[in-house]
Amino acid sequence: MQQSILQYLRCPVSQEPLELKIYEENERSYNDETVKEITAGLLSSPNGFIYPIVNGVPRMQMESFLEFGDFIKKHHDNYKDVKSDLQKRFGFIIKQGVKKHRKVKQSFGMEWSIFDYDKDKTWIFGRDERKERFLKEINANTEDLKGKFSIDVGCGNGVLTSAISEFGLISFGIDVSDSIERAYENNTQLNVHYIQADLQNLPFQTQFFDLIYSSGVIHHTNNTELSFSCIAEFIKPAGKLYVWLYHPIDNLKHHALNRLRSFTNKLPLKIQYLLYLIFLVPQALVKARLKGIKRNWREQLINFFDVLSPEFRFEHTIEEVETWYLKREFTKPEVTINEYYGFGLHGTKRTKN
Ligand SMILES: C[S@@+](CC[C@H](N)C(=O)[O-])C[C@H]1O[C@@H](n2cnc3c(N)ncnc32)[C@H](O)[C@@H]1O
């Protein structure tokens, strides 16, 4: 974490500014600039919540103080008291956070641990292809983006978060899973910041971002419209909100996959890994080869995890999502992507006058 972002971070519970304690810093070079980064530290909120910075990444979920208890204990004299005080005052919401995120973290953590940053494409796109598609998705030219604040909500492997900063954006990426650690390690750009956070409780001031981008994420939460509503709070007036979502597909194969998921997503992850690798990846590789599509075994495996592992995977229509924008004082959204699995659309937040 670069110290410069402290001014933008807020406690996700109370929205208050945070105090920073640095335990360890390292120098890191980006192109021809070298900056100091905090590799270990602690963010404290006036309401008592604490958020550790572990391996360079701020961990800003309500339950992060439990998950990283051993790390905090090493640096904090009265961790035990802080922990019991928080559990006394906020026990219910903390427990809910743990329960809500357990499966999402496991399945997507596993999915992105397979990704090879040197060799793999994300879905079917290389870094530059994704950058190009991004401009189409949000219908912008690069001039519009310079110096603007953007957030990639549910950034996964973080490749896009990093790539789009090359348009001059100050680019934040958040994800609930541990994929955020590899996203941070593999980032090559200075103006990119990764945070582990829940999109339903973002650690920023409301109305902070010029652009909120979220591709293939909010339909994987317990309630897609609730998640849309939560992230929409963080857009500035005249800012753009883009989401890509699955739509219903009416064919036998799709219905069969949806059925299969209700069984596979309950299996232990190691079993899922072996099942997909042994029974599904080989035939998918052959099929792709016959169609002249280049996809390696990891890319295929990630795809199977994405389809068969998530606890939640809701589908929505364009008309339904349009109403979500209109209800929240956005302009009528423009659909920029409409393809086999889903669609992407963006709307602009109305200014008050
Ligand atoms: C299918 S991946 C999409 C990743 C990326 N947006 C992309 O287009 O490649 C969905 C991501 O959403 C993240 N996610 C799911 N629920 C989340 C939540 N409540 N808060 C933040 N991230 C979440 C998962 O961890 C996962 O990395």
pLDDT, tens only, 309-329: 999 999 999 999 999 999 999
% residues pLDDT > 70 (the chain): 100
Percent of the chain with pLDDT over 90: 97
Secondary structure (H, E, C), 197-246: CCCCCCCECCCCEEEEEEECCHHHCCCHHHHHHHHHCCEEEEEEEEEEEE
Helix or strand holding residue 50 (H, E): strand 50-54
Instruction: Write down the pLDDT at residue 125.
Output: 92
Q: Identify the DSSP state of 268.
A: -
- Please work out whether the CB of residue 155 comes within 6 Å of at least one atom of ligand 1: yes
Give the pLDDT mean for 254-272: 95
Q: What is the pLDDT of residue 56?
A: 98
φ/ψ of 34, rounded to 5, equals: -115, 130
Pocket lining: 176 vs ligand 1, CB cutoff 6 Å: yes
Residue 71 has pLDDT above 90, yes or no: yes
Residue 13 CB coordination number (10 Å): 18
What confidence score (pLDDT) does residue 353 get? 65
Tell me the pLDDT tens digit for each residue of 237-250: 999 999 999 999 99
Atom of ligand 1 nearest to the CA of 177: 25
For 148-186, write each residue's pLDDT tens digit.
Answer: 999 999 999 999 999 999 999 999 999 999 999 999 999
Span 286-297, pLDDT tens digits: 999 999 888 999
| Per-residue model confidence (pLDDT) at position 77 | 87
Q: How far is the CA of 25 from the centre of ligand 1 (A)?
A: 28
Placement of tokens 């550790």 in the chain: 52
pTM above 0.95, yes or no: yes
Instruction: Specify the pLDDT at position 352.
Output: 77
Tell me: the pLDDT tens digits for 172-225? 999 999 999 999 999 999 999 999 999 999 999 999 999 999 999 999 999 999
- CA separation for the pair 116, 123 (Å, rounded): 12
Which tokens is 15 given? 């929205």
Distance 231 CA to ligand 1 centre (A): 13
Could you tell me if 288 and 294 are in contact, meaning their C-beta atoms sit under 8 angstroms apart? yes
Please name the residue whose Cα sits nearest to atom 8 of ligand 1.
Answer: 215
Q: Which amino acid is at 113?
A: S
- Residue located nearest, by CA, to atom 1 of ligand 1: 216
For tokens 């883009």, the residue is 242
